[in-house]
Chain A
Amino acid sequence: MNLNLFLKFVSVSFQKQVTYRFDCFVGIINGFLYVFIFTSLWKALYSQFDTTVHNGYTLTAIVTYAVLVMAVRISFTMDDSIIYRKVMDGSIAMELVRPTSFFFMNLAENVGHSLFHMMARTTPIVIISIFLFHIAIPFEVSRFLVFFVSFVAGYLLVSMLNFIAGLLAFWFIEIFPFMLFKYALYTFFAGGIVPIDFFPEFLKPIVKLLPFQYMLYFPTTILIGRTSLAEAQSIIMVQLMWIVIMGFICALMWNAGKKKLIIQGG
């Protein structure tokens, strides 16, 4: 699939989002609400102790983490029901006859969606948070570059996770329960609320074996300066490894799904 076509799809998907202005406004409030709840929670927890550092995080560091992990998460917003709807209304058949790869079409659609949310939601939420909370981000250009690479890799992983979950629609009439299950795993194991450093020892080996922490936790810790740039390099290598593994699963499921496909009228 050539780049021009990809960008065309990205821009169409972006413009589709622009029409829902009211939803976007509510989305900003919604995102900010989460930031407010979790920064309040950390402040309350830290205020109970004389020690100022817990599991390597000062209060400023944990508040920064809480704000930025939410910022990363909101930037990763995508519509995870696209594939499900296409299977249900039968329009998936159109995808089969197109000469373009369905995976990349889907990725382009996600990217357009996410770019909009990044501009319209992440940006105001981060700006408001900088004024309201005490946030510390180390200002190094090289760190921002490494973060960007890790952020993009994390994004690809989330997009693939949604692709895999969405393809389940080929086998199941209802996939909302899977989505809820995916959401629970993602929120917990990706460090979406509590950074992995606070997890009890017995959970850490499980977390290590799963791809989730490479979606939110590592990009965020690179940004806030908890991960050194040298470590960041090996983290990005592991991210790439997971992209290959999950990409392989995507391809496998897509091919199996095509064979299984039953169009429900429509």
Chain B
Amino acid sequence: MESIKIYLTLFATSIKARMEYKASFLFYVFAILSFYAGQFGLLFVLLGRFHEIKGWTMGEMIFLYSLHAFAFGFTNLIFSQMVNFDKMIIDGDFDRVLVRPLSPLGQVIFSKFEISTAAHLIIGSTALYFGSHLANIEWTLYKTLLFPVIIMGGVMIAGGIRLIVTSVAFWTLRNRSLVHTVIFSSKEFINYPVNIYNMGMQFFLTFIFPIAFINFYPAHFFLDRSGDGLLHPALEMGTPIVGIIVITVSIFSWKVGVNHYQSTGS
């Protein structure tokens, strides 16, 4: 109970620290929105010319984006400290975390909340609205209830992957480029329906680096698309299970990393 109180204080402090610079906060939101505008711009150019991408129409593509934006937005909010975690190790800040009587992972997560990712949630909601509309999604009670569960599963997958690559820093110290590739560049894969890739890559994105579960598979369920073209139709409901597996593996890898940790002495 006591630790929950501490976490809440840490949370409030981190938000307050960020809101000190209100102009910069709004500025970030604007920049992220412009970044998305560029991505949507390209999508519109391509769909304007080719009408659909492997059977995915404009509305369906936008819905695919919305699942992705929501999952990424929440992941970025919660796991933002993971992006520059290697710096914490190199500078020796992680030593301070270890001597406190509170879970190291909890402290690292609660030390920074990137609230400018509200921009991702704005995009996610807008895309959800237009995507549902254009693709004529029928929001049954079942779908509505499952939507947050799927998003949560997506956050567990994306967050778990972040935690795993972050843990690598316990061995390599500097791993910025790896973290950036895994977190940001790989995002690019699921900007498009995964069935545009060859079988080998589809297999990779499903079973080894399972980001296809963030948007591609669950989108089949929400859009009432037939799962015939998938590796297996049952995969469209796999997101929560995969999420639990990934987050469990990631916590395990983090713990192994913490045990292995030797201070840099700086």
Chain B residues, Cβ within 8 Å of A29: 181
Q: Would you call B45 an interface residue if the criterion is a C-beta within 8 Å of the partner chain's C-beta atoms?
A: yes
Most buried by A among B52, B180, B185, B198: B185
Interface size class of A (residues with CB under 8 A): 35 or more
- The stretch from A8-16, A20-28, A80-88, A94-102 touching chain B is A20-28
Q: Do the beta carbons of B30 and A177 come within 8 Å of each other? A: yes
**Cα–Cα distance between A20 and B45 once the two chains are bound (Å):** 38
Q: Report the minimal beta-carbon distance from B95 to chain A, rounded to whole angstroms.
A: 24
Q: Would you call A171 an interface residue if the criterion is a C-beta within 8 Å of the partner chain's C-beta atoms?
A: no
**Cα–Cα distance between A22 and B21 once the two chains are bound (Å):** 36
Most buried by A among B27, B37, B186, B189: B27
Chain A residues, Cβ within 8 Å of B45: 194, 198-200, 203
Q: Do the beta carbons of A176 and B48 come within 8 Å of each other? A: no
Q: Do the beta carbons of A185 and B196 come within 8 Å of each other? A: no
**Cα–Cα distance between A26 and B181 once the two chains are bound (Å):** 7
Would A180 and B177 be within 8 Å (CB), given that A187-B38, A188-B41, A200-B48 are in contact?
Answer: no
Q: Would you call B16 an interface residue if the criterion is a C-beta within 8 Å of the partner chain's C-beta atoms?
A: no
**Cα–Cα distance between A27 and B180 once the two chains are bound (Å):** 10
Chain A residues, Cβ within 8 Å of B195: 44
**Cα–Cα distance between A55 and B48 once the two chains are bound (Å):** 13
A-B contact count (CB 8 A): 99
- The stretch from A34-42, A123-131, A136-144, A220-228 touching chain B is A34-42
Q: Would you call A105 an interface residue if the criterion is a C-beta within 8 Å of the partner chain's C-beta atoms?
A: no
Q: Which of B34-59 contact A (CB under 8 A)?
A: 34-35, 37-39, 41-42, 45-46, 48-54
Q: Report the minimal beta-carbon distance from B170 to chain A, rounded to whole angstroms.
A: 15
Q: Would you call B103 an interface residue if the criterion is a C-beta within 8 Å of the partner chain's C-beta atoms?
A: no
Q: Report the minimal beta-carbon distance from A30 to chain B, rounded to whole angstroms.
A: 5
Q: Would you call B31 an interface residue if the criterion is a C-beta within 8 Å of the partner chain's C-beta atoms?
A: yes
Q: Which of B177, B188, B201 contacts A23 (CB 8 A)?
A: B177
Would A174 and B24 be within 8 Å (CB), given that A33-B188, A37-B192, A194-B45 are in contact?
Answer: yes
Q: Would you call A133 an interface residue if the criterion is a C-beta within 8 Å of the partner chain's C-beta atoms?
A: no
Q: Do the beta carbons of B31 and A181 come within 8 Å of each other? A: yes
Q: Report the minimal beta-carbon distance from B85 to chain A, rounded to whole angstroms.
A: 16
Q: Would you call A54 an interface residue if the criterion is a C-beta within 8 Å of the partner chain's C-beta atoms?
A: yes
**Cα–Cα distance between A43 and B198 once the two chains are bound (Å):** 10
Would A184 and B38 be within 8 Å (CB), given that A26-B177, A26-B178, A173-B24 are in contact?
Answer: yes
Chain A residues, Cβ within 8 Å of B172: 22
**Cα–Cα distance between A245 and B81 once the two chains are bound (Å):** 41
Q: Would you call A193 an interface residue if the criterion is a C-beta within 8 Å of the partner chain's C-beta atoms?
A: yes
Taken residue by residue from 158 to 197, chain B's Cβ proximity to chain A (1 for < 8 Å, 0 otherwise) reads as 0000000000000010101110110001101100100111
Q: A26-B181, A33-B185 are in contact. List 20 more A-B contacts (CB 8 A).
A: A22-B172, A27-B181, A30-B185, A34-B188, A36-B201, A40-B196, A40-B198, A44-B195, A48-B50, A48-B51, A174-B24, A177-B31, A180-B35, A181-B35, A184-B39, A187-B38, A188-B41, A188-B42, A194-B46, A198-B46
Chain B residues with CB under 8 Å of chain A are 21, 24, 27-28, 30-32, 34-35, 37-39, 41-42, 45-46, 48-54, 172, 174, 176-178, 180-181, 185-186, 188-189, 192, 195-198, 201
Q: List 13 A-B contacts (CB under 8 A).
A: A23-B176, A26-B181, A33-B185, A33-B189, A36-B197, A41-B196, A45-B46, A180-B31, A180-B35, A181-B35, A188-B42, A194-B45, A198-B45
Chain A residues with CB under 8 Å of chain B are 20, 22-23, 26-27, 29-30, 33-34, 36-37, 40-41, 43-45, 48-49, 54-55, 173-174, 176-178, 180-181, 183-185, 187-188, 193-194, 198-200, 203
